C-alpha cells in the first residue's frame, strides 16, 4: 500500500486547507516562541482525570471499520491489537511475539505451522478463541469474492487450515514463506468472532482489550474498555481517536491541552513547539514508511541503468531530509527500514556526486540533458521533496517538470495508468519490498533477477533468510530500482504524564496496550 499522508488513503489537504495550514503554522511557531515562559504546567480548560481517558489525534478518518473490504490504513491504526487481535504480533523492535497463539511450531518441510492457542483467549462476546474460529476465519477470507487484493495475495500461499484439537490449529502453505508469518501479525491474522453476523463496517467483533463504543462520523472513534478481556485489562475506560486532518490544528489542540497524544506528528518542523518538557514528551522512532522516488521503468531514459544511477547520485539525500523533514527520519537507500531484520544502511550506494552523475548521463547518451515529468500527490513531503529534487537535477542538466495532483487523481493517472516518469510517495506497509517483484506494479520494474532473489529469501530457512533477504535488498539499491529518499520518522507527542508509547511504528496499528498515564 502506498500512502500519502503516512496514515491512510486519501490526504485531505486541498488548497484551501493549505492556506489555513500555512497561516496556522506561522502563528503557532510564533506562539511556541513566547509561550514557554507563560504557560508551563497550567491547568487546561477541559481537564478530566487523566488516568481514565485518553484522547489521541490521528490524521485520516476511516470511512468504514471493515479492514477486509477497505484498504484504508486508518482502519488497522485504530483497531489492530486494540480491538482485533491476531495469532502473532510484531513488537516495537520488529520481532514476532505471541498474542492469541502462545507459541507455534514449524514442520520439517517448513510448510506447516502449528499454532498453540492461549486457552484463556476469548472474544468480547464471551466465546472462546479456539481452533475452529481460526479455521473459520481463513475459510471466510478464502471464500470472499470482495476481499481486498492485498489480503488475497497474502492468503494465496495458504493451502489448508485444519483443527488439530480445540487449542491447536495447523496451517499448511503451498511453499515455505517467511513473509507469511509476518503477514499474520496484521489484518490477515485477525481472528474475527465467527458467531458475529452483523455489519462489519459499523461494528466490530474482536477479542481485544477495547471495543468500539461510538463512531461519530467526521469527528472521532471512541473505544471503551472491554470488561471481559482475557489478558491484561485495558488501562483506560475510554480512548478517543480524534480525526484532525490539518497537522497544525492537531498541534493547536495539543498545545491548548485538549489532547493527550498526537499519534504521528505530520509536520516535523513544528517539533520546537513541544520543547517544553514540563508539559510534553516527544518519542522519536521509525516507521515502515519509505519515501520512494518512483521511477517508471517503461519511460525510455529510465530503463537505462546509467540514467538511474546518475539521477540517484545527483540528489543529496541527507540535505533533502534536512530541508524537507527537518532532519527527522532515516536515510535508507533501499526498500527496508531499520526495524526489518534484514535492514542495513544502503544510503552509501551511489553516493551524492553530481560530477560523476553528469558523466554517467553523458555515457548514457544524454550529454545535452533530458526532460522528465515528476507527477506527485499533493502531500507535504512529496511536494517539498519534488521541488528539492527538481533543483538538484537541474544542476546535472535534467529538466524536471513538476506537476502536483490531488491524491485521487494521482491514484488514477500515475498509480493505475502509469502516466509519469518520476513520482514521490511513501510506501507505509510493512516489509513491502516484494512489490518490486511485480512487473505490473506502477514502477513496471519486474527484474527477473530480483524476483528470483526475493523468492529464494522468502522460502529460505530461518538461519539463512535474513542473509538472503539482504541480497535482494542490496540488488534493488545497486540496480537503482527506485530512489529511496528517506524513511519517515515516528514522532509521537504526548502530555508528559503519558508513558509507554512504543518508539517505533512497526505495524499500521497505534498500539494502546503498553500506554499508561501517571
Partner 1 sequence: MGLSLRLLRRFGVFVASLLGASLLIFLVTKALPGDVAQVLLGTDATPEAVAALRSQLGLDQPLAVQYFSWLGGLLTGDFGHSHLSGDPVLSLLAPRIAVTLWLVGIGLIGSILLAIPAGMIAALKRRSWAGTLVSVGAQIGIAIPVFWGGILAVVVFAVWLRWLPANGYVPLLTNPGQWALHLILPGLTLAGVQAAVLTRYVRSAFLEVLNEDYYRTARSVGWTPMRALLRHGLRNAAISLVTVVGLQLSSVLVGAIVVETVFSLPGLGSLLLDAVAQRDLFVVQGTVMFLVLAVLTISALVDFSYLLIDPRQRTSHGGAR
Contact residue for partner 1 among 7, 11, 239, 473 (CB under 8 A): 11
488 binds partner 1 (CB under 8 A): no
Comparing CB distances to partner 1, the nearer of 85 and 432 is: 432
Size of the site for partner 1 (CB under 8 A): 64
Give the count of beta carbons closer than 10 Å to the beta carbon of residue 198.
Answer: 9
256 binds partner 1 (CB under 8 A): yes
Comparing CB distances to partner 1, the nearer of 245 and 509 is: 245
Taking CB under 8 A as the rule, which mask of x and - marks residues 212-231 in contact with partner 1?
----xxxx------------
- Contact in structure between 276 and 257 (CB atoms under 8 Å): no
Contact residue for partner 1 among 36, 50, 63, 349 (CB under 8 A): 63
Contact residue for partner 1 among 157, 181, 224, 249 (CB under 8 A): 249
Q: How many contiguous H segments (helices) and E segments (strands) does the chain have? A: 13, 19
35 binds partner 1 (CB under 8 A): yes
Residues 6+ apart with CB under 8 A from 439: 445, 446
252 binds partner 1 (CB under 8 A): yes
Q: Residue 152 is inside which H or E element, if any?
A: helix 149-155
Give me the DSSP letters along 479-517.
Answer: TTSSEEEEEEEEEEEEETTEE---SS--SS----TT-EE
Give the count of beta carbons closer than 10 Å to the beta carbon of residue 344.
Answer: 14
**Which string of b and e fits 97-126 if b means at least 16 CB within 10 Å?**
eebbbeebeeeeebbbbbbbbbeebbbbee
Q: What's the closest the beta carbon of residue 76 comes to partner 1, in angstroms?
A: 13
User: Site residues for partner 1, window 104-133 (CB under 8 A)?
Assistant: none
* Upper half-sphere CA count for residue 424 (Cβ side, 13 Å): 27
User: Site residues for partner 1, window 424-453 (CB under 8 A)?
Assistant: 440
Residues 6+ apart with CB under 8 A from 367: 361
Q: What's the closest the beta carbon of residue 238 comes to partner 1, in angstroms?
A: 13
Three-state secondary structure call for residue 357:
helix
For the chain, report the end-to-end CA distance as a whole number of angstroms. Answer: 37
Beta bridge partners of 373: 401
Contact residue for partner 1 among 112, 150, 323, 447 (CB under 8 A): 150
155 binds partner 1 (CB under 8 A): no
Comparing CB distances to partner 1, the nearer of 85 and 183 is: 183
42 binds partner 1 (CB under 8 A): yes
Comparing CB distances to partner 1, the nearer of 276 and 479 is: 276
Q: Which of 189, 179, 176 is nearest to 437 (CA)?
A: 179
Comparing CB distances to partner 1, the nearer of 146 and 368 is: 146
- Tell me the window of 109-117, 244-252, 348-356, 508-516 that interacts with partner 1 (CB under 8 A): 244-252
48 binds partner 1 (CB under 8 A): no
What does residue 104 show for φ and ψ, rounded to 5 degrees? Answer: -155, 155
Q: How far apart are CA 406 and CA 423, in angstroms?
A: 13
- The residues that touch partner 1, with contacts defined as CB under 8 A, are 1-3, 9-12, 14, 16-17, 19-20, 23-24, 27-28, 30-31, 34-35, 38-39, 42-46, 63-64, 70-72, 148-150, 201, 216-219, 242, 244-246, 249, 252-253, 255-258, 405-413, 415-417, 440
Amino acid at each position: 500500500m502506498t500512502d500519502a499522508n503516512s496514515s491512510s488513503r486519501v490526504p485531505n489537504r486541498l488548497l484551501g486547507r493549505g492556506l489555513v495550514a500555512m497561516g496556522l503554522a506561522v502563528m503557532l511557531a510564533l506562539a511556541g516562541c513566547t509561550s514557554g515562559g507563560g504557560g508551563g504546567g497550567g491547568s487546561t480548560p477541559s481537564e478530566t482525570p487523566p488516568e481514565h481517558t485518553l484522547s489521541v489525534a490521528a490524521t485520516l478518518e476511516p470511512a468504514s471499520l471493515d479492514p477486509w473490504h477497505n484498504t484504508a490504513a486508518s482502519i488497522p491504526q485504530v483497531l489492530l491489537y486494540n480491538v482485533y487481535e491476531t495469532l502473532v504480533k510484531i513488537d516495537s523492535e520488529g520481532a514476532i511475539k505471541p498474542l492469541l497463539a502462545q507459541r507455534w511450531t514449524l514442520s520439517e518441510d517448513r510448510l506447516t505451522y502449528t499454532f498453540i492457542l492461549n486457552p484463556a483467549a476469548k472474544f468480547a462476546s464471551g466465546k472462546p478463541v479456539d481452533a475452529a474460529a481460526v479455521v473459520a476465519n481463513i475459510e471466510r477470507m478464502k471464500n470472499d469474492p470482495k476481499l481486498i487484493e492485498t489480503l488475497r495475495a497474502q492468503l494465496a500461499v495458504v493451502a489448508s487450515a485444519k483443527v488439530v484439537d480445540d487449542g491447536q490449529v495447523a496451517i499448511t502453505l503451498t511453499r515455505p514463506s517467511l513473509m507469511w508469518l509476518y503477514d499474520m501479525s496484521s489484518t490477515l491474522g485477525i481472528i474475527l468472532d465467527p458467531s458475529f453476523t452483523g455489519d462489519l463496517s459499523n461494528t466490530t467483533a474482536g477479542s481485544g482489550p477495547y471495543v468500539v463504543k461510538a463512531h461519530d462520523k467526521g469527528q472521532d472513534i471512541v473505544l471503551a474498555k472491554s470488561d471481559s478481556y482475557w489478558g491484561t485489562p485495558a488501562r483506560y475506560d475510554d480512548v478517543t481517536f480524534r480525526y484532525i486532518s490539518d497537522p497544525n490544528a492537531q498541534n493547536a489542540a495539543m498545545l491548548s491541552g485538549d489532547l493527550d497524544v498526537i499519534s504521528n506528528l505530520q509536520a516535523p518542523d513544528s517539533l520546537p513547539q513541544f520543547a517544553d518538557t514540563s508539559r510534553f514528551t516527544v518519542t522519536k522512532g521509525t516507521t515502515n514508511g519509505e519515501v520512494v522516488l518512483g521511477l517508471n521503468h517503461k519511460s525510455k531514459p529510465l530503463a537505462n541503468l546509467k540514467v538511474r544511477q546518475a539521477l540517484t547520485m545527483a540528489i543529496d539525500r541527507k540535505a533533502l531530509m534536512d530541508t524537507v523533514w527537518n532532519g527527522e527520519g532515516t536515510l535508507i537507500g533501499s526498500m527496508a527500514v531499520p526495524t526489518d531484520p534484514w535492514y542495513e544502511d544502503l544510503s552509501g550506494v551511489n553516493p551524492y556526486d553530481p560530477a560523476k552523475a553528469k558523466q554517467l548521463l553523458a555515457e548514457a547518451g544524454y550529454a545535452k540533458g533530458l526532460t522528465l515529468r515528476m507527477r506527485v500527490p499533493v502531500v507535504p513531503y512529496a511536494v517539498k521533496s519534488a521541488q528539492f529534487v527538481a533543483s538538484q537535477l537541474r544542476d546535472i542538466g535534467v529538466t524536471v517538470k513538476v506537476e502536483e495532483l490531488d491524491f485521487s487523481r494521482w491514484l488514477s493517472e500515475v498509480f493505475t495508468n502509469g502516466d509519469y516518469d518520476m513520482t514521490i510517495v511513501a510506501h507505509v506497509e510493512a516489509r513491502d519490498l516484494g512489490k518490486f517483484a511485480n512487473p505490473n506494479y506502477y514502477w513496471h520494474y519486474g527484474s527477473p533477477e530480483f524476483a528470483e532473489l526475493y523468492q529464494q529469501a522468502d522460502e529460505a530457512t530461518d538461519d539463512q533468510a535474513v542473509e538472503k533477504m539482504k541480497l535482494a535488498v542490496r540488488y534493488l539499491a545497486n540496480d537503482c530500482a527506485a530512489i529511496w529518499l528517506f524513511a519517515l520518522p515516528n514522532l509521537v507527542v504526548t502530555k508528559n504524564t503519558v508513558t509507554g508509547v512504543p518508539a517505533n511504528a512497526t505495524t499500521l496499528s497505534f498500539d494502546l496496550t503498553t500506554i499508561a498515564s501517571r
